[in-house]
Amino acid sequence: MPAPIRAYLPDLLVAGGAVHEGAALSVLGGEVVAVGEPAPGAERVRLAGKAILPGLVSAHGHSFQRAIRGRTQLRHPGRSDFWSWREAMYRAAARLEPDDVFAVARMAFHEAACAGITTVGEFHYLVGDPAGHPYDDPDRLAREVIRAAREVGLRIVLLRAAYARGGAGVPPSPEQLRFVDGSAGEVVASALRLSRITAADPAVTVGLAPHSVRACPAGWIEELAAEARHRRWPLHVHVAEQPAEVAHCRAEHGVTPVELLARTGALGPGTTAVHAIHLERSDVEALGRSRTTVCACPTTERDLGDGVVPADELLRAGAGLALGSDSMVQVDLLEEARALEGNLRLLRRERGVLSPAGEAGTDALAARLLGFATQGGMASLGLPGGALEVGDPADFASFDLADPSIAGASAHDLRATVIFSAARTAVRDVVVAGEPVLQDGAPPRGRPAAAEVVADFGRVMRKLRGG
Ligand SMILES: [Zn+2]
C-alpha cells in the first residue's frame, strides 16, 4: 500500500517565508510535497482555528542540565555567577547513571515538544561513568540521549563534544573526569559509531563539538575542525561566554578565542560559535567574513549573567544566527527569539534593533527572528529545511488561534504575535518528518504519556535531592 499523502488544512500557514490563508500543507514520506491546493488524493486533516508554523529548532542544549532547574537560584557568600552555577551543575552531573540520563533527557525533550520544538542539537559531553571510566558500550550515554529524543519524537543532532582538560596546564578536576576523552581521535571514532544510527533512523545525525578553547588544546580543535569539514558534519564550540575565558585564552595563546578558532581552521559556514558574547571588533568581523553561525542562548545567558550577544553587529558583519535552550533554565525557543531582540533593546535603548534593513512590514522583524529559530537552527545543525518549502522535512507545530496569548492574530501580524507574545499553551500539534509528536497538546498513542515522563523524571530528582 502506498504511504498516505496528508494535507493539513489550518486557517493560517507560515510556509516559504510567507503567511498563507486557507492554504494546505501536503506531506508525503516525511517531506513537504505541496503548499496551496491539497495534493490530489490526499487525506485531509482540518486544523480549524489553528495556524501552522515551521517547527522550532534548539540548536544548542545540554539535556541533563534540566535536573538542576530551580536548584541554583541562590546568592552565594562570595560571587554568584557562571562559575558558581557550574559547581552545582557538576555535582548533579557526577551522580547521573545511564537510566537517569535517559529520564532527564526525555523530560527535557518532552518539554521541548510542548514548546513547538521539533529538532534539538544536543551538545553531549557526558561520556564516562561517574568515576570517569568508560562504559562497556563507550557511547552508552549518547545512545540514551538519542533514545530519549526519538521516543518523544524529536529530530536530534548529537554533537559529540570533546573535553581534554580543566584549562591551560590544568588537568580535569574529579567532577570533570566523566567528560574527558583520551584524544580527539577517540571523539571522532565515537561520532562515527553514532553516525551509523542514521541509516536506520534519518532523524538522528551527528556533529563534532570541541567543548571550548578552555577545555580543548589547539591541536584537538584543529583535528576536529578538519574531520568535520571532511565529513560535512556540523562543528559546534562554546566561544567567549565569559570574560575569564577570553583572558585565559589570551594568556595561553596570545589571541582571543575567535582568533584561535580562525587560526585552527575552525571558522566557516559549517561552524557554530555558541554564545560569542565577549568579542573584539575584529572577532565580529572574522565571524561574519567566514559566514560562521552564532548560536545565542539568551535565557541561559541572562540566567547566568553572561552578557548580551551583539547579534546586530554580527548580522551586519555577515554571520548567521541560531538559538538554543542551552542550560534548560527555560525550554521555550520563542522566548529565546524575543529575548535576543529584547536584550538588545535594553542595551541600545531603541526598538526593532534586529529589523532587516529596508523592510518596514508589521512582521518583517518577527519573520527574521522566526528564521533564526527555524532555518537558522537547521543550517547550524547541517540539516536542510526549516521553512516548510516543497522538499523540506515536514517538521511543524500548530498554534491555537483562540489561545488567550495570541487571540485576534491575523495573517498580517501572525508572526509578530507569536514571536513576541505566544504562550506555550498555544502549541497544540507537533509533527516531525510527517509523524505526530503531539496531538492537541498530548503525546499520541505509541509515545510515552506525559505522566510517565514526569514520574520517571521525579524519581531522578528524588535521588539527586536524597543524598
Ligand atoms: Zn552550552
CA nearest neighbour of 145 among 131, 156, 153, 133: 156
Residues 6+ apart with CB under 8 A from 70: none
In the reported structure, the alpha carbon of residue 158 is separated from the centroid of ligand 1 by a whole-number distance in angstroms of 13
Q: Residues 301-306: contacts with CB within 8 Å, 24+ apart?
A: 301/241, 301/275, 301/277, 301/326, 301/343, 302/339, 302/343, 303/327, 303/329, 304/81, 304/82, 304/85, 305/80, 305/81, 305/82, 306/82, 306/241, 306/242, 306/275, 306/277
Q: Give the SS3 label for residue 403.
A: coil
Q: What class, spelled out in words, does domain 56-354 have in CATH?
A: alpha beta
Residues 6+ apart with CB under 8 A from 227: 184, 188, 208, 233
Its CATH architecture, for the domain 6-54+386-433, is Roll (2.30)
| Cβ count within 10 A of residue 1 | 3
Q: Which part of the chain has CATH 2.30.40.10?
A: 6-54+386-433
In the reported structure, the alpha carbon of residue 98 is separated from the centroid of ligand 1 by a whole-number distance in angstroms of 21
User: Grid coordinates in use for 129?
Assistant: 561513568
CA nearest neighbour of 93 among 175, 166, 162: 175
Check: pTM over 0.85? Answer yes or no: yes
Place of cell 548529537: 158
Active site residues: 275, 326
Print pLDDT tens along the chain (467 aa): 557 899 999 999 999 999 999 999 999 999 999 999 999 999 999 999 999 999 999 999 999 999 999 888 888 777 788 888 888 888 888 889 999 999 999 999 999 999 999 999 999 999 999 889 999 999 999 999 999 999 999 999 999 999 999 999 999 998 899 999 999 999 999 999 999 999 999 999 999 999 999 999 999 999 999 999 999 999 999 999 999 999 999 999 999 999 999 999 999 999 999 999 999 999 999 999 999 999 999 999 999 999 999 999 999 999 999 999 999 999 999 999 999 999 999 999 999 999 998 777 779 999 999 999 999 999 999 999 999 999 999 999 999 999 999 999 999 999 999 999 999 999 999 999 999 999 999 999 999 999 999 999 999 999 988 85
CA distances from 58 to 94, 146, 325, 358 (A): 25, 15, 6, 29
In the reported structure, the alpha carbon of residue 442 is separated from the centroid of ligand 1 by a whole-number distance in angstroms of 29
Phi, psi of 7 (to 5 degrees): -115, 115
Q: Which part of the chain has CATH 3.20.20.140?
A: 56-354
At residue 338, what is the residue type? R
In the reported structure, the alpha carbon of residue 109 is separated from the centroid of ligand 1 by a whole-number distance in angstroms of 16
Phi, psi of 13 (to 5 degrees): -135, 120
In the reported structure, the alpha carbon of residue 236 is separated from the centroid of ligand 1 by a whole-number distance in angstroms of 10
In the reported structure, the alpha carbon of residue 210 is separated from the centroid of ligand 1 by a whole-number distance in angstroms of 11
In the reported structure, the alpha carbon of residue 296 is separated from the centroid of ligand 1 by a whole-number distance in angstroms of 10
Residues 166 and 172 sit within 8 Å (Cβ to Cβ)? yes
What pLDDT sits at residue 466? 83
What pLDDT sits at residue 445? 95
In the reported structure, the alpha carbon of residue 65 is separated from the centroid of ligand 1 by a whole-number distance in angstroms of 10
CA distances from 387 to 79, 184, 391, 425 (A): 43, 35, 10, 23
What pLDDT sits at residue 2? 59
In the reported structure, the alpha carbon of residue 447 is separated from the centroid of ligand 1 by a whole-number distance in angstroms of 28
What pLDDT sits at residue 72? 83
What pLDDT sits at residue 77? 77
What pLDDT sits at residue 467? 57
Residue 77 C-alpha from the chain's centroid: 33
